A and B are shown apart, each in its own frame.
Chain A
Amino acid sequence: MIPTWAQLAYLICAVAFILALKGLSGPRTARVGNLIGAAAAVVACALPFLYLEMDNLVLILVAIAVGTAGGVYGARRVQMTQMPQMVALFNGVGGGAAALVALLELEVIVARDAVAVGWFVLVATAFTVVVGSVSFAGSVVTFAKLQDLMTSRPVVFPGLAVVFGGTLLAALVLSGLLVAEPVMWIGIVLALVGLGFGLLLVLPVGGADVPIVISLLNAFTGLTVAAGGYVLDNTLLLVAGTLVGASGTFLTLLMAKAMGRSVANILFGALKGGSTLGSGEASDRPVRSAGPTDAAIMLGYADRVIVVPGYGLAVAQAQHTLRELVDVLTERGTTVDYAIHPVAGRMPGHMNVLLAEAQVPYEQLREMDDINGDFKDADVVLVVGANDVVNPAAKTTPGAPIYGMPILNADEAKQVVFMKRSMRPGFAGIENELLFDERTTLLFGDAKETMGKLLSAVKAL
């Protein structure tokens, strides 16, 4: 039994987690919110040392130290561009840990008199094992997709839907068996089925939708932790896990809305042989390309310029040069804004983080709804390393995978300068009609190098 003082301390930690989430949702309070959450987590993990007899004290402390060192190392070393896969990885190991915890608790239940344990607890155990494994395997695949360790294209094979349905059924049947008669091997098979299910769930998801899946798996892990809390008789785990599960689900829906997709469509679109597949090949249709000097003249003599930054900008590490270019243009009297699509980068809000890193002033960053009316007055729109977020197919081509996603209206501007590495399509794998528009000028080359040339050309004007 947990002593009352410890239960009260857990309650305080639960409240601190609520305040942490509250803080994290406002720009002014975000950092404090995160620190409150961290402090509560540390206090919570210290509590069992105060009221439990620890047989394995030293080993446990060593394991915590190893995990902490690994976490800090990864968190400090990761590039801002790689943030989405880092979050996916952290989420996955959390889900894996929850599944292992539930398996260990199952062993205790089996060893003890299983009849004394309510079926409620067994349901929660089965849930934790399955969903935790799903979250782990799914996150690993997500990580591999974003880290380019495997193709970011949807992976589908004939009969996928049948295998998928079979796995789901197997998970349900095994969970039922576990509740009827708690034995260890069912728990282990359940974990394996969960791992398989996680793979099948994420493999068919196309690259552009992966961020939504990260968010969804994050919510899954939250619910896993909540169920684990019930199994372990720990209210803090229940509250914290549920908070994350609920807010994560809500956040997933917000993101899906920003992309004009439904979550069901993202997850199961490929199963139905749906349209998440694009051609993925470079086109050989004629385009108009130009050198940095021509583009410099267009930009240098424009009154109103809007920059549309994308993930490619950050990959090339060209955001600092871009900021310099914008500074020079502003000095010349041009009004310049950055148009930030809600899913620019690889995760909603990712681009804001990347540009903040380059110390772009906050006022120049304009959100989509705010700036979309301004494009028709813009003399030049400079698209750097972005593609899908300005693809008019989202408005005009009902069959396109991104159809229905709100886009930046770059196609309304008088001129568009597209800085691209090649004619390869964007993350969603579909061709962009805007590239072939007669008002569009393409500037080929590595974003950083080209940006540097463009900067010196503008300076020389």
Chain B
Amino acid sequence: MSEPIVWLTIFVLSVFVGIEVISKVSSTLHTPLMSGANAIHGVILLGAIIVTAHASGFALVVGLVAIVLAAVNMVGGFVVTDRMLQMFTRRRAPTKKEAAA
């Protein structure tokens, strides 16, 4: 198999996995799910780090800007998702106790 075909295969399979894993989400969780997915694509930080590793001059500046932006996306995304989900857990706590009683 030629290399682009291997990449294409990974891509197509990932599409199916991506749809499959979230297909049963309830509308209650749409907002946190969107926010969590948003944080995951913040992993472009990895790409920003790789291209900045050997950059110099103006490219270095651009690379550093990309790193800052990507880090905001990734870290902020996960923290804000956790904040949202924390509220769901807090609400569930008394329910559990009631169930036990």
A residues near B, CB below 8 A?
Answer: 13, 17-18, 20-22, 24-27, 30-31, 33-35, 37-38, 41, 44-45, 47-49, 52-56, 59-60, 63-64, 66-68, 70-72, 74-76, 78, 80, 83-84, 86-87, 90-91, 93-94, 96-98, 100-101, 103-105, 107-108, 118, 120, 214-215, 218, 221-222, 224-226, 228-230, 232, 234-248, 250-251, 254-255, 258, 342, 347-350, 352-353, 356-357, 359-363, 365, 367
Contact = CB atoms under 8 A, between A and B. Distances in A.
Interface string B28-70: 1111111111111111111111111111100110111111111
27 contacts: A13-B43, A25-B24, A26-B25, A30-B88, A41-B39, A47-B46, A48-B53, A55-B53, A55-B55, A55-B56, A56-B54, A59-B52, A60-B64, A83-B35, A94-B38, A96-B66, A97-B48, A97-B70, A98-B70, A104-B52, A226-B14, A241-B41, A242-B11, A242-B15, A246-B19, A247-B19, A353-B84
A97 B53 contact: no
A238 B75 contact: no
Given A218-B34, A218-B38, A232 B50 contact: yes
Contacts of B42: 41, 90, 94
Contacts of A357: 87
A327 to B, nearest CB: 14
Contacts of A352: 28, 31, 88
Given A242-B14, A356-B87, A70 B4 contact: no
Given A60-B53, A74-B80, A250-B23, 13 more contacts: A18-B17, A25-B24, A34-B39, A41-B45, A45-B49, A67-B75, A71-B79, A91-B38, A94-B42, A232-B50, A240-B40, A243-B40, A245-B15
A362 B73 contact: no
A230 B7 contact: yes
Given A21-B37, A218-B38, A361 B72 contact: no
Contacts of B31: 83-84, 87, 347-350, 352-353
Main secondary structure of the interface of B (DSSP, over half): helix
B78 A41 contact: yes
A97 B69 contact: yes
Chain A CB within 10 Å, residue with most, of B26, B37, B81: B37
Given A52-B53, A67-B70, A347-B30, A242 B18 contact: yes
Contacts of B94: 361
A176 to B, nearest CB: 18
B52 A361 contact: no
Contact of B71 (A64, A222, A226): A64
Contacts of A241: 41, 44
A100 B38 contact: no
A8 to B, nearest CB: 15
B36 A237 contact: no
A231 to B, nearest CB: 8
Interface residues of B, number: 81
A104 B19 contact: no
B41 A225 contact: yes
Contacts of A52: 50, 53
B77 A71 contact: yes
B47 A238 contact: no
Nearest to A22: B21
Contacts of A64: 45, 49, 67-68, 71
Main secondary structure of the interface of A (DSSP, over half): helix
B82 A35 contact: yes
A68 B77 CA distance: 10
A246 B27 contact: no
A237 B52 contact: no
A246 B15 contact: yes
B59 to A, nearest CB: 6
Nearest to B83: A75
B69 A225 contact: no
A87 B80 contact: yes
B41 A94 contact: yes
Given A41-B40, A353-B31, A71 B53 contact: no
Contact of A243 (B17, B46, B89): B17
Contacts of B22: 21-22, 24-25, 247, 250-251
A241 B80 CA distance: 20
A448 B80 CA distance: 26
B88 A44 contact: no
Contacts of B52: 56, 59-60, 63, 104
A363 B46 CA distance: 42
B49 A71 contact: no
Contacts of B65: 63, 100
B73 A90 contact: yes
Given A30-B88, A55-B53, A349 B41 contact: no
Interchain residue pairs A-B with the least CB separation, the first 6? A67-B71, A71-B76, A246-B18, A94-B73, A242-B14, A348-B30
Contact of B44 (A49, A54, A94): A94
B101 interface: no
Nearest to B80: A75
Given A232-B51, A349-B27, A72 B36 contact: no
